[in-house]
Amino acid sequence: MAEFKEISPNASAGAKLTNWFENRFPTAFYEYKKHMSEYYAPKNFNFWYVFGALAMLVLVIQIVTGIFLVMHYKPDAALAFGSVEYIMRDVPWGWLIRYMHSTGASAFFVVVYLHMFRGLMYGSYRKPRELVWLFGCAIFLALMAEAFMGYLLPWGQMSYWGAQVIVNLFSAIPFIGPDLALLIRGDFVVGDATLNRFFSFHVIAVPLVLLGLVVAHLLALHDVGSNNPDGIEIKDNKGPDGIPLDGIPFHPYYTVHDIFMVSVFLMVFSAIIFFAPEVGGYFLEYNNFIPADPFQTPLHIAPVWYFTPFYSMLRAVTSEMMYALIACVLGGALLGVLKGKMSTLFKGIILAGAVVVVAMMLSIDAKFWGVVAMGGGVVILFFLPWLDNSPVKSIRYRPDWHKYMLAVFVIDFLVLGYLGMLPPSDIGGRVSQLGTLFYFGFFLLMPWWSTLGASKPVPDRVTFAAH
Amino acid sequence: MKNIKHLALGLVMALGLATGAQASTGGIAWDKAPGKTTDMASLQNGAKIFVNYCLNCHSAAFMRYNRLTDIGLTEKQIKDNLLFTTEKVGETMKAAIDPKQAKEWFGANPPDLTVIARSRAGAGGTGADYLYTYMRTFYRDDAKATGWNNLAFPNVAMPHVLWQLQGERKPVFEEKEEHGHAVKTFKGWEQLSAGTMTPLQYDQTVGDLVNYLQWMGEPAQNTRVRVGVWVLLFLGLFTFLTWRLNAAYWKDIK
């Protein structure tokens, strides 16, 4: 509890008012300093550091537009499609609110993917920022749930059949699968009950979780301090006042910086909303302008673009692919036993574990393992802080070939995403199988490959050229 | 490095092949629709045709008659000329036919047309392109119950509603050997009986109708573009100001 401060009766009205509030609500002043005016961020942030702020902006856009959409939307299988068209036609500026929300969904994934890529590049997930990364991964997971359930609400053909396909995946889980799928749907097929529970989750449950996680993500970040493109700790070089020499107050320097980048972002965002809201069928799928029809399955069901890399992984796991995966498990276990420095007992456990996993892989349908691959593709991100053994954080000081590795990883992710949008094909299937193996190989072999090669000397102070 | 290039090249090639493999579904290639949703005369003519021909069987359940004021009609004009299935201009466009009867007669429910132009877009072009092609490629086919078939939508349940305007036609195919298969390629049309319109007039009429359908799919589309220009102009200015503001602050950071 802060001391009660008396103020001179001659002070200005503004100062008196501030003093009045500061005596009654000191927390607000303290937190403002901690997170804004006296939060010292490295001065060498580059372009890539704007996507966190942009993700926050898009979150606000989604919440505000969502509030207005809910005022007119009807979560009822008979009325949902019509109510969306009602918003598009009869609600004043409804089309703008709806397009902001639909474009915002895709924009959210664009900025979050770029934000995550930034983390990968500069090692932002490494000690002491592991929790920041974990909260971030949880946000990504919540965001996927939010997007998936939101996509059912317009009740178009793609909404309906996309939900049908994804919920059916849960039924591939041994023993509990069919009951779990039933629990999610609330019915034997996707129907009114599904729409109502997805609506509830989309507008209440998941946003609450998302907001809580965002707060945790930011608090944890502000406790340990931001990483930077050089991947060095600015807190290691403090001035006599205890302030990092390479740190600058977040407000005003990064607030003005972010406002500038926000306006650039809004230009792109608005260009899409006003001139190409469907983005050629990628942001709003054409088939979704046909009302949901449980009796007519569309020829080709594709998830929205942001899910397609993981959807590709799901489709890549065929019964043929299982042999490749089994070989990987056995190879991995053998390598661990031969090369690892551990007790004989532990080696035995690894071998036995591998045998059990292979037995399961042989006995359970490939469809289930496809679901495991799809989920694993997201879950593996959580382990990144403990997979990376490189002596330096930032890609700037890593061996050159790490850059190519990261570049191939990005290309791989994009190719998987592209293939996930297409109907299955032989060659596409082969490429996505290779892509899936590379995706998991990138992470699972990281403890090994991240130690290879000579890293460059890391400077003591950040590299910065005055603007 | 070389390996990586090879890998990247392989992936790119695989992508190309995968795209090629994504063949379009049945039907011929789509013609380009005129697509002028700002042409009021064309939209009004399209609305007239829509109400007179399409609304007999199809509905536009999310479209209100009085929205036609957006394309330059007055409420009185709408009431006097276009209201056949309802009394009030604030009502939505319902079909004259009973949906149950439609199902009996055609074997399928005529789909609602409010957003038909948005839903039919695809790899072949915009939804308007599809509709423009579809409405111009009906032909006589005695093998079908309705006596009509369509090149853009083979075996469609819908008969040729505008046949009196276009007349009756039959497509001419040419058979060719390709990769050991006999392939039928569309060569042109044979007119069986004349319609009340010349082919050029008919194309224009269908163009107007499709134009209307495209507009009806999103009546706010012209407003959207108009507002968008101002929004971007504002944001351009705002970006300039924030850029200078940012520079003014950051000049202190050495």
- What pLDDT sits at residue B87? 78
Residues 31-70 of B with CB under 8 A from A: 61-64, 67
Q: Which residues on A lie below 8 Å from B243 (Cβ)?
A: 260
Min Cα distance B118 → chain A (Å) is 6
- Give the one of A270, A286, A404 whose C-beta lies nearest to B1's C-beta: A404
CA-closest candidate to residue A145, choices A130, A163, A127, A129:
A163
- Give the one of B114, B238, B246 whose C-beta lies nearest to A257's C-beta: B246
Q: Hey, are the CB atoms on B224 and A96 less than 8 Å from each other?
A: yes
**Does any CB of chain A come closer than 8 Å to the CB of residue B225?**
yes
Q: Hey, are the CB atoms on A427 and B120 less than 8 Å from each other?
A: no
Which helix (DSSP H) or strand (DSSP E) does residue B176 occupy? strand B167-178
- What pLDDT sits at residue A127? 93
**Does any CB of chain A come closer than 8 Å to the CB of residue B5?**
no
In total, the C-beta contacts within 8 angstroms joining chain A to chain B are: 138
Length of chain B: 254
- What pLDDT sits at residue B9? 43
CB A353 within 8 A of CB A375: no
CB B182 within 8 A of CB B176: yes
Indicate whether A435 pLDDT > 80: yes
Min Cα distance A36 → chain B (Å) is 16
State both tokens at A283. Answer: 């942001």
* DSSP per-residue codes, A306-351: GGHHHHHHHHH--HHHHHHHHHHHHHHHHHHHHH----HHHHHHHH
Return the amino acid letter for A129: R
Q: For residue A252, is the peptide bond before it cis, meaning its omega torsion is within 30 degrees of 0?
A: yes
Which helix (DSSP H) or strand (DSSP E) does residue A249 occupy? strand A247-249
Instruction: List beta partners, residue B194.
Output: B167
- What pLDDT sits at residue B12? 42
Rounded Cα gap, residues A464 and B5, in angstroms: 33
CA-closest candidate to residue B140, choices B118, B116, B163:
B163
Task: Assign B63 to helix, strand or coil.
Answer: strand
Alpha-carbon distance values, A322 to A39, A427, A443 (Å): 50, 18, 19
Q: Hey, are the CB atoms on A289 and B7 less than 8 Å from each other?
A: no
Which helix (DSSP H) or strand (DSSP E) does residue B139 occupy? strand B138-140
Q: How would you write A408-453 as a 3-class SS string?
A: HHHHHHHHHHHHHHCCCCHHHHHHHHHHHHHHHHHHHCHHHHCCCC
Q: Which residues on B lie below 8 Å from A259 (Cβ)?
A: 242, 245-246
Q: Hey, are the CB atoms on B115 and A96 less than 8 Å from each other?
A: no
Indicate whether A401 pLDDT > 70: yes
Min Cα distance B32 → chain A (Å) is 16
DSSP code for A35: I
Task: Assign B145 to helix, strand or coil.
Answer: coil
Mutate to test the interface with A, among B24, B235, B254 (most CBs of A within 10 A): B235
Q: For residue A291, is the peptide bond before it cis, meaning its omega torsion is within 30 degrees of 0?
A: no
Min Cα distance B230 → chain A (Å) is 10
Q: Which residues on B lie below 8 Å from A423 (Cβ)?
A: 22
Rounded Cα gap, residues B62 and A261, in angstroms: 39
Question: What would the mean pLDDT of A221-246 be, rounded to a whole number?
Answer: 95
Query: What would the pLDDT profile of B177-232 be if each residue is shown by its tens digit?
Result: 777 777 888 888 999 999 999 999 999 999 999 999 999 999 999 999 999 999 99
Alpha-carbon distance values, B178 to B18, B174, B185 (Å): 22, 12, 11
Please name the residues in contact with A370: beta carbons below 8 A apart, sequence gap of 6 or more: A169, A172, A313, A314, A315, A316, A317
Q: Hey, are the CB atoms on A82 and B62 less than 8 Å from each other?
A: yes
Rounded Cα gap, residues A250 and A35, in angstroms: 8
pTM reported for the whole predicted model: 0.92
Instruction: List beta partners, residue A248.
Output: A41
**Does any CB of chain A come closer than 8 Å to the CB of residue B20?**
no
State both tokens at A192. Answer: 């009114």
DSSP code for A124: T
Q: Hey, are the CB atoms on B228 and A289 less than 8 Å from each other?
A: no
Task: Provide ipTM, 2 decimals.
Answer: 0.90
Rounded Cα gap, residues A408 and B8, in angstroms: 7
Mutate to test the interface with A, among B250, B251, B252, B254 (most CBs of A within 10 A): B250
Residue with tokens 């971030």: A136
Alpha-carbon distance values, A296 to A189, A299, A301 (Å): 13, 9, 12
CA-closest candidate to residue A160, choices A314, A305, A374, A303:
A303
Question: What would the mean pLDDT of A244-258 be, rounded to a whole number?
Answer: 95
CB B171 within 8 A of CB B189: yes
Indicate whether A416 pLDDT > 70: yes
Q: Which residues on A lie below 8 Å from B63 (Cβ)?
A: 89
CB B138 within 8 A of CB B160: yes
- What pLDDT sits at residue A1? 53
Question: What would the mean pLDDT of A400-415 be, rounded to a whole number?
Answer: 97
CA-closest candidate to residue A416, choices A401, A403, A402, A429:
A429
Could you count the other beta carbons within 10 Å of the beta carbon of residue A59?
A: 20
Residue ranges of alpha helices (H) inside A203-318 are 206-224, 255-275, 308-316
Min Cα distance A216 → chain B (Å) is 29
- Give the one of A90, A252, A427 whose C-beta lies nearest to B14's C-beta: A427
Confidence class for position A2, pLDDT limits 50, 70, 90 = low
Rounded Cα gap, residues A217 and A136, in angstroms: 6
Q: Hey, are the CB atoms on A89 and B112 less than 8 Å from each other?
A: no
Rounded Cα gap, residues B102 and A456, in angstroms: 75
Min Cα distance A82 → chain B (Å) is 7
Q: Hey, are the CB atoms on A88 and B220 less than 8 Å from each other?
A: yes
Q: Which residues on B lie below 8 Å from A244 (Cβ)?
A: none
For B135, counting Cβ atoms within 10 Å of its Cβ (0-12 exposed, 13-18 middle, 19+ buried), the class is buried
Query: What would the pLDDT profile of A77-125 be if each residue is shown by its tens digit?
Result: 999 999 999 999 999 999 999 999 999 999 999 999 999 999 999 999 9
CB A150 within 8 A of CB A102: no
Four-point Cα dihedral A97, A103, A107, A108, nearest 10: 60
Residue with tokens 């879950």: A379
Task: Assign A166 to helix, strand or coil.
Answer: helix
Task: Assign B125 to helix, strand or coil.
Answer: strand
Q: Dmax of chain B from CA atoms?
A: 84
Q: Which residues on B lie below 8 Å from A288 (Cβ)?
A: 119
Residue ranges of alpha helices (H) inside chain B are 2-21, 40-53, 75-81, 99-106, 116-119, 127-134, 163-166, 199-217, 221-250
User: Who has greater pLDDT, A41 or B15?
Assistant: A41
Q: Scanning every residue of chain B, which has its alpha carbon at the shortest distance from the alpha carbon of A83? A: B62
Indicate whether A67 pLDDT > 60: yes
Q: Scanning every residue of chain B, which has its alpha carbon at the shortest distance from the alpha carbon of A86? A: B62
**Does any CB of chain A come closer than 8 Å to the CB of residue B243?**
yes
Min Cα distance B182 → chain A (Å) is 25
Mutate to test the interface with B, among A86, A290, A308 (most CBs of B within 10 A): A290
Q: Hey, are the CB atoms on A428 and B21 less than 8 Å from each other?
A: yes
What share of chain A in percent tops pLDDT 70? 99
Per-residue pLDDT of chain B (254 residues; tens, 9 = 90+): 444 444 444 444 444 333 333 333 468 899 999 988 999 999 999 999 999 999 999 999 999 999 999 999 999 999 988 887 777 899 999 988 887 788 888 888 899 999 999 999 988 899 999 999 999 999 999 999 899 999 999 999 999 999 999 999 999 988 887 777 778 888 889 999 999 999 999 999 999 999 999 999 999 999 999 999 999 999 999 999 999 999 999 998 98
DSSP code for A455: P
- What pLDDT sits at residue B7? 44
CB B11 within 8 A of CB A431: yes
Task: Assign B179 to helix, strand or coil.
Answer: coil
For A291, counting Cβ atoms within 10 Å of its Cβ (0-12 exposed, 13-18 middle, 19+ buried), the class is buried
Q: Hey, are the CB atoms on B8 and A411 less than 8 Å from each other?
A: yes
- Give the one of B119, B247, B254 whose C-beta lies nearest to A289's C-beta: B119
Alpha-carbon distance values, B76 to B64, B73, B219 (Å): 15, 8, 20
Confidence class for position A163, pLDDT limits 50, 70, 90 = very high
Rounded Cα gap, residues A85 and A95, in angstroms: 9
Indicate whether A57 pLDDT > 50: yes
For B183, counting Cβ atoms within 10 Å of its Cβ (0-12 exposed, 13-18 middle, 19+ buried), the class is exposed
Mutate to test the interface with A, among B213, B233, B238 (most CBs of A within 10 A): B238
Indicate whether A229 pLDDT > 90: yes
- What pLDDT sits at residue A337? 86
Instruction: Give the Cα-Cα-Cα angle B196, B157, B171 (nearest 5 degrees).
Output: 55
